[in-house]
Amino acid sequence: MLFARCDFAHTGSVPRARACAQICGLEAHETSDNDEAYAILKAHLRALRGQRCLQRGGTRFRIILEANLGDFAQQVGKRAVANISDAEVVCTHQHCYGVFTGPTSKPRYVFKLREKLRERALVYHSRLVTVNPYADPDLPRAELAAQTRRQFEQQLGAFRTVFNVPKALLSTVRVTYSGKADRDNQRTARTQDDLVMALLFGYYYAALLVADAGGVFTRSRRNALATEQPAFMFH
């Protein structure tokens, strides 16, 4: 889980001509079920509300859930819309909560974020929020935040362009982006890229919403899905 505050006018020393994306919170925890994911989300939002930069009147949180993961986005999205009054769930389809990601989407995410990195307009907040309620209770919060930040930066450093060279002579080279490839460009379970992917598609859809480019919208209490939706399985 990653929370980014996007100021599309200007922030601090960042010139007005450039937008600033500020990473305010990180959570790294392999949840066992949707209840744990929702509990972490609530705890994280509670801590974010204590940040001075987010205490202005009218601040709303936009939750971007990956809809490919079984019923995760549907269950967490439905509960968030019903119970969190200052939050909205970002959607790309009328029949369900969340956004759909896939191999063909990654280049768009990467190119959008690459522009931000080139501008040096992606920064950490001075008080990074990490409040994982399932972490070791004896671990100081500052150390938990530092560990999570290191994990994120390791993932970011390992995320790269992957060239899959086919064995057939007339086949084309397939290009993808991943943090889960080994030296031979083969997928490995030894590394993860979940925090980087959260940043990639999170910033992409946040920018689309602000630009009012279409294809993405939000759901809240006022326009929640009216009927119980079936569980959708993808991939």
Under the banding of pLDDT at 50, 70 and 90, the label for residue 196 is very high
Which CATH number does the domain housing residue 217 bear? 3.30.420.320
Asked if residue 126 belongs to a domain, the reply is: yes
Q: Give residue 19's pLDDT.
A: 59
pLDDT (tens digit, 9 = 90+) per residue, 160-179? 988 888 878 777 888 888 88
In tens, the pLDDT along 45-57 reads 999 998 887 877 7
Q: Given this model, what pLDDT does residue 188 score?
A: 83
The pLDDT, as a whole number, for residue 6 is 61
**Considering the domain boundaries, does residue 106 fall inside one?**
yes
Q: For residue 29, tell me if it sits in a domain.
A: yes
Domain range for 103 is 2-142+194-223
Asked whether residue 180 is domain-assigned, the answer is no
Closest CA to 35 of 80, 5, 68, 1: 80
Helix (H, G, I), strand (E, B) or coil at 123: strand
Q: Are 98 and 91 in contact (CB under 8 A)?
A: yes
Alpha carbons 158 and 162: distance in angstroms, whole number: 11
Q: Answer whether residue 31 is part of any domain.
A: yes
Per the listing, tokens 């209770």 go with 137
Q: What percent of the chain has pLDDT over 70?
A: 89
Residue 78 is assigned to a structural domain of this protein: yes
What is the number of structural domains in the chain? 1
**Residue 201: inside a domain, yes or no?**
yes
Whether 88 shows a pLDDT value over 60: the answer reads yes
d(CA 192, CA 195): 8
- Are residues 159 and 40 in contact, defined by beta-carbon separation less than 8 angstroms? no
- Does 110 map to a domain? yes
